[in-house]
Chains A and B, each alone.
Chain A
């Protein structure tokens, strides 16, 4: 059984082939990076995995389950969580409640139990206490104590990114999709994020699919890399291998890079 596999995935928007025959496999426990220029189809790929988009062709397999016809909440229930490139937090909730929403599938409080939360011994009271304790562990892990009770809309950009990561971790995923976790961060925040991503892999044993533009970071932490451009696979393999691929060099550094070629 492969842990996660994508077979011949294709999707188009109007006449534009956003993804074309993408195939790759992810082993349990590895960090698998997807890189490519802007508009290459990386986020579209994530949206297909999550069930936000329906792919036209191909299969997405997660622990022998087909994902490509499933709704996003069903996909989440199977153990796939993600963060977003453009922060998608619940702006008017505080940090704690944002992360608590990640516990949604683990909480058992329904409408009636919720309405009758009379004190900490009631069912809803116990559930809230229990899961807030779990969330506090994540807050500890990601060092979010200072902003625990603050409304997230007012937090700095870098911290919001961390809250998104915390919310995704709160779902206790087996596969975590990180869409540019370091975009727009300063170098200190970036360092922290890299450590956390490694910790998530090593300590929590979560498999990570990573989209990132920072090449140093990608080459540093990824086990394997997939390069896509214009929706097509350019190459995939270990960081060393990918770095030497001529098309990758061309895609990232541009053509005609010979010294003195400019007029």
Chain B
């Protein structure tokens, strides 16, 4: 019997052959996706991938480090505008402009992290909220950023490849998403991520064990902002047109709800939460097309739930689903996943 212990197994990614199998299966599915579904769903997948990146970034801050942010739409905007401005005004190639603008977002994240050293909970929420709203206001008033008119994304080409369709862009986006997801997972499993979790669970103990609170709290903000900035830069090319109205407080709250619905402190949860909520966001409006029921729901919402008389049943359902998930599974979708796994562990016995 081999008694020697391989310590790497504690942190290795492929904990078993089954995990490896599913990972390869997922990669194959993602690679084949544009050929299996029509173009609109490729756009949906792009939209979801953007939100996955943001949700992971935000989860590093909220779920792992235990800080809160209601201003991530601000970083999202900095990433989007930064990338477009660097490309159109400074004529930098996309693959330089994107990380550069994400680094600018990270710098702002670092600056926003400084007040976070003294603020907690609701106070920090308000401070970050102020940041997010300020960014949108400033961008909307500066002519250099297109003002209220917004900016158009230039033609995107990397080397010899021209990525002008959703389908082409999909592959770039999915590659970046997978790399960022794996990177986040690795960071969480190693020294930096452990320090984040330690700060969340017992900050004074973490400090007396040698964790520099100032450094790691601001690093968490910067890293989270970096992810969001990358997502923003990519989002500019999913929409091909950006304006200040896209980066509102509502979007910050959307991001936060993805993280919470998915499961705080879980990379898998962030992915699941982002998938579910962005899919619901795009698909729930189709509920009105269901025969009979759709008509009925429409009249119902028009006569009882709406002030303006416009049907808003999709938003009501959206909220309802979120409330139900939180009510029955406070750990979010990740909690459901853990319970399912436990339930099937001994199958078929």
Contacts and interface: CB of A to CB of B under 8 A. Distances in A.
Using C-beta atoms within 8 Å of the partner chain, give the interface range for chain A.
Answer: 35 or more
Contacts of A96: 10
A20 interface: no
B189 interface: yes
B327 interface: no
B202 interface: yes
A91 B209 contact: no
B207 A114 contact: no
Q: Which of B207, B208, B210 has the most CB of A within 10 A?
A: B208
A89 B202 contact: yes
A191 B205 CA distance: 26
Given A88-B202, A92-B265, A93-B201, A114 B193 contact: yes
A152 B170 CA distance: 42
Nearest to A91: B201
Given A92-B197, A114-B193, A76 B10 contact: no
Contacts of A105: 210
Contacts of B184: 115
Contacts, number: 121
B194 A76 contact: no
A223 interface: no
Contacts of B341: none
B194 A100 contact: yes
Contacts of A127: 190-191
A129 B7 contact: yes
Interface in A82-132: 82, 84, 88-93, 96-97, 100-102, 104-105, 107, 109-111, 113-117, 120, 124-125, 127-129, 132
Which 8 residue pairs across A and B have the least CB separation, nearest first? A76-B210, A132-B7, A88-B205, A114-B190, A90-B201, A115-B183, A72-B207, A120-B8
Given A76-B209, A77-B210, A101-B194, 20 more contacts: A52-B204, A52-B208, A71-B207, A71-B212, A73-B207, A88-B204, A90-B201, A93-B197, A101-B195, A102-B209, A104-B191, A105-B210, A109-B192, A114-B187, A114-B191, A115-B186, A115-B187, A116-B186, A120-B8, A128-B8
